[in-house]
Amino acid sequence: MHKDSQGMKYLCIFVLGFCIGMWAAPAHASDENGEAFCLAQNIYFEAGNQPLAGKIAVANVVMNRVESHQFPNNVCDVIFQAEYRENWKGEQVPKYGRCQFSWYCDGKSDDPKDSKTWISSYQIANNFLENPPFDLTEGALWYHADYILPYWSQHLNETVQINNHIFYK
């Protein structure tokens, strides 16, 4: 009897391990190319302090760029589009101030610090990619905060202002 209960114990451990492995694999594969993660990073760093409309508008710009022939054709490449240089370790890093989205090349950590905002940003990104909402930006490909005036904004048409971001096409 003791031998059977030990065999049953090993069988239960195997089945439990198999179930955990099967459950974890689809969760990892649900974002195979990382688009939800990339979009969540952009939402977090560009609009983490904005209400929902501001976060969706930032995601709208990324998707408008994906659809435009002027930019790369996937979410992560749009977000990480930059000029690169080699650092002292021989690694390619974005040049300071030479990125499409400033957070990526500001020299600060790209690891989210605020768990609540990060979880919200990821949920918004995931939902956005599964069921894209109405484009709040009216097709905008660019935006900036209202407290700066970039040279390029004078050559574009403003579409909308959402909170402290001004959008252009």
Q: What is the CA 164 to chain-centroid distance, rounded?
A: 20
Comparing C-alpha atoms, which of 26, 27, 22, 24 is closest to residue 122?
A: 27
Amino acid (1-letter code) at residue 83: E
3-state secondary structure of 70: coil
pTM of the model: 0.78
Which pLDDT score is estimated for 17?
Answer: 44
Tens-place pLDDT, residues 97-117: 899 999 999 889 888 999 999
Distance (Å, whole) CA 57 – CA 60: 5
27 belongs to a structural domain: no
Tens-place pLDDT, residues 138-157: 999 999 999 999 999 999 99
Tokens 């101030």 label which residue?
97
Q: What is the CA 135 to chain-centroid distance, rounded?
A: 17
103 belongs to a structural domain: no
Q: Which structural domain range is residue 161 located in?
A: 36-77+108-168
26 belongs to a structural domain: no
132 belongs to a structural domain: yes
Which pLDDT score is estimated for 13?
Answer: 47
Q: How many domains are there within the chain?
A: 1
Q: Where are the alpha helices (DSSP H) in 30-114?
A: 35-47, 52-67, 75-79
Is-contact 62 39, C-beta < 8 A?
Answer: yes
Q: Which residues of the chain have pLDDT under 70?
A: 1-33
Distance (Å, whole) CA 74 – CA 71: 9
